[in-house]
Amino acid sequence: MRICVTTFGSEGDIHPYLALATGLREAGHAVVFASVDRYAARARSLGLEYATVGRPWVDKSGPEVAAAFRERNPARQAGMFTRLLEEDLAATVLGLLEVTRDVDLVVSHVFNVAGTAAARAHRKPVVVGHLFHNTLRQRRSSPLGSNLGRLGNAVMWRLAEAMTRQYTDPPLNRAVMAAGLAPWRDILFRSGHSELLNLVAISPSVVAPDPLWEGRYRVTGYWWTPPSGFTPDAALASFIEGERPVVVTFGSMGGADSRAMTATLVEALRRSGRKAILQAGWGSLGEGELPPNVLRVGFVPHDWLFPRAACVVHHGGAGTVAATLRAGVPSVVVWHLGDQPVWGRILERRGVAPPAIAHTRLSAGKLHRALERVLSEDGFRERAGQLAQAIRHEDGVSTAVRAIESAAAGTGRSRVMA
């Protein structure tokens, strides 16, 4: 088959789809990876054909982004971020309509509505990938990650869907209509999902498949790219020797006062007496003078950095959660938005993290106490190591490739390369 794999977003939204595209190519399929210009070099380094679609990538910042991070209503917050991406997604459609014209199948991130819309416009089969599960209705859990019983969960899912779609459907439908289609309803929870196959790229050891997912939803395990082969510079190599450092990374999270956040982090680390590596990320953490026990770094691959950490303080994004679990290290979650508090609860229930902290309520004292607990109690690292062993025995990419091939065979599409 000739397959278009397309995604949209930050590093955590890209790496799993690069891994899946690589697995499909190694299985004998012709694969074109379609996304923004930012990730072209990464894809080509993996031997993938790349199609640049949409507008040139610009890191989102400014007062609108800061306001979205401060919003407390999850549904309204989702709408605010969706509006920030509205123009980018709509601009992506034209390129994807061209790229997907002659493919046999499209694989698209659930948030990349442009990819799903382009596939449907061409009447191509589409497989939708999900890196998180809180847009999938569940019997055993509410949208916020707690179990309110079968009836309570069902009511909460209906409320979440009704509240969210009023904020997110209008901006997401810009991409749908740009593909020449009539508007969809309840895009994030229903109409943006595939009628053929939905792949849930989460370890079943972390999130057990829910009874409501039987049929169209397949939990595959995580999708990992090949090892980065990263070589540290002299400063990082020297700093990381000896005692394992605390690693702090908030990835693509911004919106906070970077100086105030840095001061809080540094004070908590001072109280703990630990050395730490602080990844700057999109929030530009660590600018200015830092104490000798804190090293500021830019991009360092998580597959190299996390296994060398004592623990990781992070925002609870799906990709970062997966990387900490694979590395077998405990977490302290300082969540910012979206699915992150749900991941915080999951890590707490798995015994690999203390209770998560909202970034709006973070203090040096709270973070210091969380660090003291996770670093002094051996059970956190032991349980993290056990969970990592289970995850490392899974092959999410191969499972996903086989599921795609089986679904395509059911549509009459040939496995022969186009």
List pLDDT tens digits, range 29-72.
999 999 988 889 889 999 999 999 988 876 666 677 777 777 77
Judge if 2-222+394-410 and 234-392 fold alike in CATH terms: yes
**Strand order of the sheet with strand 197-200?**
49-52, 30-35, 2-6, 105-109, 126-130, 197-200, 217-219
In this model, does residue 279 exceed pLDDT 50?
Answer: yes
In this model, does residue 416 exceed pLDDT 50?
Answer: no
In this model, does residue 417 exceed pLDDT 50?
Answer: no
In this model, does residue 293 exceed pLDDT 70?
Answer: yes
Tokens of 370: 């969380």
Q: Residue 412 — very low, low, confident or very high, per pLDDT cuts 50/70/90? A: low
Superfamily of domain 2-222+394-410: Glycogen Phosphorylase B; (3.40.50.2000)
Tokens of 70: 């401060």
Residues 258, 285 contacting (CB under 8 angstroms): yes
Query: Which residues are CB-contacts of 365 (< 8 A; sequence separation ≥ 6)?
Result: 268
In this model, does residue 415 exceed pLDDT 70?
Answer: no
Q: Which of 189, 107, 135, 131 is nearest to 13 (CA)?
A: 131
Task: Identify the residue with better confidence: 115 or 336.
Answer: 115
Residues 375, 311 contacting (CB under 8 angstroms): yes
List pLDDT tens digits, range 87-106.
888 899 999 999 999 999 99
Question: What confidence score (pLDDT) does residue 286 get?
Answer: 66
Q: Residue 418 — very low, low, confident or very high, per pLDDT cuts 50/70/90? A: very low
In this model, does residue 145 exceed pLDDT 90?
Answer: no
Question: What confidence score (pLDDT) does residue 282 get?
Answer: 62
Question: What confidence score (pLDDT) does residue 414 get?
Answer: 45
Q: Which of 154, 5, 229, 187 is nearest to 86 (CA)?
A: 187
In this model, does residue 361 exceed pLDDT 50?
Answer: yes
In this model, does residue 309 exceed pLDDT 80?
Answer: yes
CB atoms within 10 A of CB 58: 9
C-alpha to C-alpha distance for 337 and 314, rounded to whole angstroms: 12
In eight-state DSSP terms, residue 229 is -
Task: Identify the residue with better confidence: 122 or 61.
Answer: 122
Superfamily of domain 234-392: Glycogen Phosphorylase B; (3.40.50.2000)
C-alpha to C-alpha distance for 363 and 370, rounded to whole angstroms: 11
In eight-state DSSP terms, residue 221 is -
Where along the chain do its domains lie?
2-222+394-410, 234-392
